[in-house]
Amino acid sequence: MDKRTLYITGEARTNMDNAITKIYGVFYMAFEVVEETGEIVDVDCNATLKLTQSFIRKLFLCHSILEESQFLEQEVAQRYFGSSGKAILAAYRDARQHYRQIVGKS
Per-residue pLDDT tens digits for 20-45: 666 667 889 999 999 999 999 999 99
Position 22 scores a pLDDT of: 67
Q: Which amino acid is at 49?
A: L
Q: Are 49 and 63 in contact (CB under 8 A)?
A: no
Distances (CA, A) of 17 to 23, 24, 84, 105: 11, 12, 11, 37
pLDDT < 50 stretches in the chain: 1
> From CA 44, how far away is CA 20, in angstroms rounded?
14
Position 1 scores a pLDDT of: 47
Position 58 scores a pLDDT of: 97
Position 8 scores a pLDDT of: 97
Position 63 scores a pLDDT of: 97
Tell me the pTM. 0.89
Q: Are 89 and 30 in contact (CB under 8 A)?
A: no
